[in-house]
Every structure is written in structure tokens, then in C-alpha cells.
Amino acid sequence: MNDTPERKIPPMCQHQPPCPSADSADRESARLVAHHPEQGWSLLCNGVVLFEDTGELLPDGRIIDPHRPLDPSRVMTAA
Ligand SMILES: [Zn+2]
């Protein structure tokens, strides 16, 4: 056993079940807490800023490059 303390997310998320953390691969599925389509960005419950080009700004300042999800109808035929 090791007693490494778990990293806790700031008590920003009041949802049940809790939203994925900003470190999670699933971070984009956190709830929207602010949506500014006219400015092209949204703030997620876990502190991630999601841009409309699918780029992300994480709460710790990291930038995630845009990674547009493939349209499901194209995944099947993707070469
Ligand atoms: Zn939440």
C-alpha cells in the first residue's frame, strides 16, 4: 500500500456523479457551466475551457491542440 494522497478537485463540481476531472481523458464530458458561442468558448465544470475548434485550455495552464472528433459516419470509412 502507498499512502499517496489523492488529488482532489476544487469543490467546483456539485454534480452527482461528479464530472470527470481536468486530468481525465473524459474531461470534455463535464457539464458546461458557461457557454459563449459568440466568443467561441465554453467553460466546463472541471475548469477546462473548451474552444469551438475543439482546442482546450486546462486549469493548470496547459493547452490541448484542437482534435475534432471524427464524424461517426466517417469513422467507418476512414482510410
Ligand atoms: Zn460537475
Residue 53 lies in a domain: yes
**Which residues neighbour ligand 1 (ion) by CB within 5 Å?**
13, 15, 19, 31, 45
Collapsed DSSP state (helix, strand, coil) of residue 72: helix
Q: What is the DSSP letter of 76?
A: T
Task: Compute the C-alpha angle 33/9/19, nearest 5°.
Answer: 50
Residue numbers of the domain that contains 30? 14-63
Q: How much of the chain exceeds pLDDT 90, in percent?
A: 65
pTM higher than 0.85, yes or no? Answer: no
Q: How confident is the model at residue 2 (pLDDT cuts 50, 70, 90)?
A: low
Residue 2 lies in a domain: no
Span from the CA of 32 to the centroid of ligand 1 (angstroms): 8
Length in residues, the chain? 79
Q: How many domains, the chain? A: 1
Span from the CA of 33 to the centroid of ligand 1 (angstroms): 8
Mean pLDDT (the chain) is 83
Residue 29 lies in a domain: yes
Residue 75 lies in a domain: no
Span from the CA of 27 to the centroid of ligand 1 (angstroms): 10
Q: Is the pLDDT of residue 62 over 50?
A: yes
Residue 31 lies in a domain: yes
Residue 32 lies in a domain: yes
- 11 and 18 in contact (C-beta within 8 Å)? no
